[in-house]
């Protein structure tokens, strides 16, 4: 178990913008940073990071928190795993305390699978470097491919001995359960037998974006025609082939730096490019490109350059992925290598300078590439040429940006010698058809069962409509929870301005001998948090929302203990609901920066200028609603047998009228 002192050092050292910057491309937005959501597919930034507050929020999903919570959400780390990752990043030595048997028992299956996978990676790597067979077979193969020791270490390459159960026995001897060896696919279990899936293969560990081992690719070294040349780990709770890009862990920083990602097919293509000095390269690992894989790149850059082998048949099979990339709103360029060459062989045969020059000189826009490729098959046949044009326009229709679509239509008209009017007409039909298809899918999804932990974007829209009293054109059944909204406003003021001092005015009623009432105003200074506490305490008000009540209790505890509010303690609170709610409220203040209002000459008045009014309005409104509810309750309690307490209702109504006057509201 990680010691408290280590946890404190991690939180003191970790910078949320640096941590998230390793996974999301962030751009400066005032005092904050913004970027595309790493949790959903989107075209406009809704993800905000505050370096000052050391928190983040994704406005698309409502998720938010600190550096630790980001790793837990994005990488599915447990709390201890996130701390270890941060400790490693900031070179903090971890102090451990002995785990209890109960704590050990709490390790879930995913954690166990990650531990087994890490052991396997270390075992295969050490076997290759430190055993005779490993060096003679595995290491010699990689050396023959031209890979250096540094490259082998960077990609943590390894070798699985050509023995039926050498790895499995080693793992069992170290205490790893057969259940997890089987669930990760490292060991195949049949009846009473178990054997190594990757026996006799050189190993390519597959990393997550943060460096965790998700699975493996293994290449056979014998000429066995019955065995697959490459074998991947089977799908599991931690390994999903369609959601992973090989080499992304090693390439992510360079992709963001170069603002471009080279996309290849195989493991060795990535490794050879990396060794040649072109490090912003990833591979789809032999699978057809998927939307999930493209989204991984989209977090780091808007530019993808697809590298094709010289094999024309392979190009035609892979070119379908370009439409997927366009659909995600990315810019696509294409480079094709000479006949008989692939990225691996070309990188080995040329110097770093030659390789970089070739990639730069031969990169062409996707439309030019696709036209030249498809026209080769048309042989000047008008019917086939019409098919080519339709294919090109279909690709253009995938682009979400209207201006880009128009530019590409103009370019296509020029290259294909056809009128823009015809192309725009075809494009309009395709776009209309696409909208109709999406509407059909959306309607089907409305009736499909949703994961309660991951509400769809429509959910948030419906919530907003419900608060406005409308759902799909009808009056909402549920009324707005006014109390919860007002309670949230008080918590918001406490979090943002609790430690600020402001000048308040107290109204003092004076009654003379004739019964005339005069009001004098007394000015005084007070902390905002203390002022709110005193006003709520006068009426013995408690929050009806449990979460807000818990946060309020924590804030009052800070005031009593330290005479000020400790925001960091709330942001990093052990109660995840408290931490998430506090983060969400704090980041809501920064949301306007996503729209860049200043560039549109829209300026927001500083709340500090209006603090006394802000505090009083929040408290008075809460009192007003509570009094209104009390009056309603008294009226409802009245029956034929129980007479209405008119005097009490009159007194409450009088109080309510006073509050209306203080709020300057017309009744």
Asked whether residue 480 carries a pLDDT value surpassing 60, the answer given is no
For residues 275 and 306, state if they share a domain: yes
pTM for the model stands at 0.68
Instruction: Indicate whether 596 belongs to any domain.
Output: no
| pLDDT at residue 440 in the model | 75
Residue-wise pLDDT tens digits, 144-203: 999 999 999 999 999 999 999 999 999 999 999 999 999 999 999 998 889 999 999 999
Kindly report each contact of residues 369-375 with a partner whose C-beta sits within 8 Å and lies 24 or more positions away, as own/partner.
Answer: 369/334, 369/336, 370/319, 370/322, 370/395, 371/412, 371/415, 371/416, 373/312, 373/315, 373/316, 373/319
pLDDT digits (tens, 9 = 90+) for 335-350: 999 988 999 999 999 9
How many Å apart are CA 382 and CA 133, to the nearest integer? 62
pLDDT at 239 over 70: yes
Determine which of 59-63, 222-226, 388-392, 550-554 has the lowest per-residue pLDDT on average: 222-226
| 605, pLDDT greater than 60 | no
Domain end residue (candidates: 190, 221, 239): 239
- Residue 383 sits in the same domain as residue 418: yes
Do residues 593 and 30 make contact, with C-beta atoms less than 8 angstroms apart? yes
Q: Kindly state whether residue 468 falls inside one of the protein's structural domains.
A: no
Mean pLDDT of the chain: 82
Domains: count for the chain: 4
Neighbouring-strand partners of residue 471: 474
Residues 298 and 372 in one domain: yes
Is the separation of the CB atoms in 215 and 206 below 8 Å?
Answer: yes
Note whether 161 and 127 are within 8 A (CB).
Answer: yes
Tell me the two tokens of residue 111. Answer: 């954690």
Buried b (16+ CB within 10 A) or exposed e, 520-541: eeeeeebbbbebbbebbeeeeb
Q: Which of 239, 259, 290 is the last residue of a domain?
A: 239
Residue 468 confidence (pLDDT) above 60:
no
Q: pLDDT tier at 457 (50, 70, 90 boundaries)?
A: very low
Name the residue range of residue 393's domain.
Answer: 248-432
What CATH number does the domain containing 69 carry? 3.90.580.10
With respect to residue 653, please indicate whether it lies within any of the assigned structural domains. yes
The count of other CB atoms within 10 Å of the CB of residue 628 is 15
Which of the four pLDDT bands, split at 50, 70 and 90, describes residue 656?
Answer: low
Determine how many CB atoms are found less than 10 A away from the CB of residue 585: 22
**Residue 219 pLDDT:** 95
Across 309-313, 491-495, 573-577, 657-661, least confident range:
657-661
- For residue 640, pLDDT over 70 is answered with no
* Residues whose CB is less than 8 angstroms from the CB of residue 206 and which lie 6 or more positions away in sequence, other chains included: 213, 214, 215, 216, 217, 232, 233, 239, 244, 246, 285
φ, ψ of residue 514 to 5 degrees: the values are -90, 5
How far is residue 195 from each of residues 161, 182, 260, 363, 611, measured CA to CA in Å?
12, 10, 42, 47, 70
Q: Are strands 47-50 and 32-35 parallel, antiparallel or unpaired?
A: antiparallel
Asked if residue 438 is part of any domain, the answer here is no
Q: Are residues 91 and 189 in the same domain?
A: no
Among residues 217, 239, 261, the one where a domain terminates is 239
Q: Are 301 and 256 in contact (CB under 8 A)?
A: yes
Q: Residue 186 sits in a domain of what CATH number?
A: 3.90.980.10
Judge whether residue 222 has pLDDT over 80. Answer: yes
Residue 232 is predicted with a pLDDT of 94
Q: Output the pLDDT for position 658.
A: 60
How confident is the model at residue 375, as a pLDDT? 73
CATH code at position 514 = 1.10.860
Model confidence pLDDT, tens digit, residues 552-595: 888 888 888 888 888 888 888 878 888 888 988 888 877 766 66
Q: Which pLDDT score, from 0 to 100, does residue 287 have?
A: 74
- Tokens matching residue 594: 């996503």
More confident residue, 43 or 236: 236
* 84 and 130 assigned to the same domain: no
pLDDT of residue 469: 41
Residues 254-275, mean pLDDT to the nearest whole number? 93
Same domain membership, residue 503 and residue 422: no
Q: What DSSP line would sit under 430-493, residue for residue?
A: HHHHHHHHHHHHHHHHHHSPPPTTS--HHHHHHHHHHHTTEETTEE-SSPP-HHHHHHHHHHHH
**More reliable by pLDDT, 639 or 357:** 357
pLDDT tier for residue 377 given thresholds of 50, 70 and 90? low
Question: Looking at per-residue confidence, does 217 or 503 come out higher?
Answer: 217
Tell whether 215 and 296 lie within a shared domain: no
Percent of residues, the chain, with pLDDT higher than 90: 33
Q: Rounded to an integer, what distance in angstroms lies between the CA atom of residue 658 and that of residue 107? A: 58
* Sign for the pseudo-dihedral over CA of 262, 266, 269, 270: positive
pLDDT classification of 273: cutoffs 50, 70, 90: very high
Q: What are residue 506's phi and psi, to 5 degrees?
A: -100, 130
Which is more confident, 254 or 651? 254
pLDDT of residue 655: 59
Task: Give 264-313 as a DSSP string.
Answer: ESSHHHHHHHHHTT---EEE-TTSPP-HHHHHHHHTT-SEEEEEE-S-HH
Q: Is residue 452 part of a domain?
A: no
Question: 69 and 18, same structural domain?
Answer: yes
Is 59 a member of any domain?
A: yes
CATH at 289: 3.40.1360.10
Q: Residue 453: what pLDDT?
A: 41
Residue 34 sits in the same domain as residue 125: no
Residue 17 has pLDDT above 70, yes or no: yes
Note the pLDDT tens digit of each residue in 412-453: 888 888 889 988 998 898 888 888 877 777 666 555 544 444
pLDDT of residue 660: 58
Same structural domain, 265 and 388:
yes
Taking each continuous run of H as one helix and of E as one strand, the counts in the chain are 30, 20
Residue 488 forms part of a structural domain = yes
Residue 529 CA to residue 565 CA, distance in Å, equals 8
Per-residue pLDDT reduced to its tens digit, 320-334: 788 889 988 899 999
Is the pLDDT confidence value at 610 over 80? no
Whether residue 475 is contained in a domain is answered as no
pLDDT of 105 over the 60 cut: no
Lowest mean pLDDT segment, chosen from 301-310, 509-518, 589-598:
589-598
Same domain? 383 vs 326: yes
391 lies in the same domain as 308: yes
């Amino acid at each position: 178990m990680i010691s408290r002192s280590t946890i404190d050092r991690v939180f003191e050292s970790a910078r949320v913008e640096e941590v998230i910057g390793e996974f999301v491309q962030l751009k400066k937005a005032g005092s904050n940073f913004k970027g595309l959501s790493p949790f959903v597919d989107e075209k406009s930034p809704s993800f905000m990071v505050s370096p000052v507050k050391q928190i983040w929020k994704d406005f698309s999903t409502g998720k938010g928190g600190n550096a630790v919570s980001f790793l837990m959400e994005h990488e599915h780390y447990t709390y201890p795993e996130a701390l270890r990752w941060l400790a490693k990043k900031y070179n903090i030595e971890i102090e451990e305390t002995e785990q209890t048997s109960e704590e050990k028992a709490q390790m879930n299956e995913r954690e166990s699978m990650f531990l087994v996978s890490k052991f396997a990676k270390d075992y295969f790597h050490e076997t290759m470097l430190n055993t005779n067979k490993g060096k003679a077979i595995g290491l010699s193969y990689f050396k023959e491919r031209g890979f250096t020791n540094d490259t082998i270490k960077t990609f943590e390459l390894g070798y699985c001995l050509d023995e039926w159960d050498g790895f499995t026995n080693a793992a069992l001897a170290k205490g790893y359960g057969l259940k997890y060896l089987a669930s990760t696919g490292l060991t195949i279990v049949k009846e009473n037998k178990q054997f190594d899936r990757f026996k006799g293969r050189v190993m390519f560990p597959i990393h997550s974006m943060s460096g965790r081992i998700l699975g493996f690719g293994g290449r056979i070294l014998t000429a066995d025609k019955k065995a697959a040349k490459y074998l991947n780990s089977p799908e599991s709770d931690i390994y999903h082939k369609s959601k992973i890009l090989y080499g992304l862990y090693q390439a992510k920083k360079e992709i963001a730096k170069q603002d471009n990602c080279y996309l290849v097919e195989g493991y060795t293509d990535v490794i050879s490019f990396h060794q040649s000095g072109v490090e912003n390269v990833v591979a789809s690992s032999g699978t057809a490109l998927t939307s999930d894989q493209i989204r991984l790149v989209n977090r780091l850059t808007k530019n993808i350059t697809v590298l094709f082998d010289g094999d024309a048949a392979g190009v035609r099979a892979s070119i379908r992925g370009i439409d997927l990339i366009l659909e995600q709103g990315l810019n696509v360029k294409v480079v094709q290598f000479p006949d008989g060459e692939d990225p691996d062989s070309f990188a080995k045969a040329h110097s770093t300078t030659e390789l970089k020059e070739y990639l730069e000189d031969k990169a062409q826009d996707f439309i030019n590439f696709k036209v030249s490729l498809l026209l080769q098959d048309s042989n000047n046949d008008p019917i086939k040429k019409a098919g080519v044009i339709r294919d090109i326009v279909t690709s253009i229709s995938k682009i979400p940006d209207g201006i880009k679509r128009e530019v590409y239509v103009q370019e296509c008209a020029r290259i294909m010698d056809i009128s823009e009017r015809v192309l725009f007409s075809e494009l309009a039909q395709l776009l209309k058809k696409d909208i109709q298809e999406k509407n059909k899918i959306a309607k089907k999804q409305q009736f499909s069962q949703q994961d309660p932990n991951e509400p769809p974007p429509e959910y948030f829209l419906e919530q907003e409509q419900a608060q406005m009293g409308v759902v799909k054109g009808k009056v909402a059944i549920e009324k707005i929870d006014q109390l919860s909204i007002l309670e949230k406003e008080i918590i918001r003021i406490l979090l943002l301005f609790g430690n600020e001092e402001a000048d308040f005015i107290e109204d003092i009623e004076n009654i003379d001998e004739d019964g005339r009432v005069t009001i004098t105003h007394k000015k005084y200074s007070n902390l905002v948090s203390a002022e709110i506490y005193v006003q709520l305490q006068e009426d013995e008000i408690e929050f009806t929302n449990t979460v807000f009540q818990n946060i309020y209790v924590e804030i009052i505890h800070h005031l009593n203990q330290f005479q000020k509010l400790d925001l960091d303690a709330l942001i990093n609170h052990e109660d995840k609901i408290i931490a998430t709610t506090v983060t969400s409220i704090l980041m809501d203040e920064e949301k306007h920066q996503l729209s860049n209002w200043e560039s549109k000459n829209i300026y927001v008045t500083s709340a500090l200028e209006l603090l006394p009014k802000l505090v009083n309005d929040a408290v008075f409104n809460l009192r007003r609603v509570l009094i209104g509810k009390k009056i309603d309750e008294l009226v409802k309690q009245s029956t034929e047998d129980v007479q209405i307490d008119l005097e009490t209702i009159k007194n409450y109504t009088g109080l309510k009228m006073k509050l209306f006057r203080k709020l300057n509201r017309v009744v």
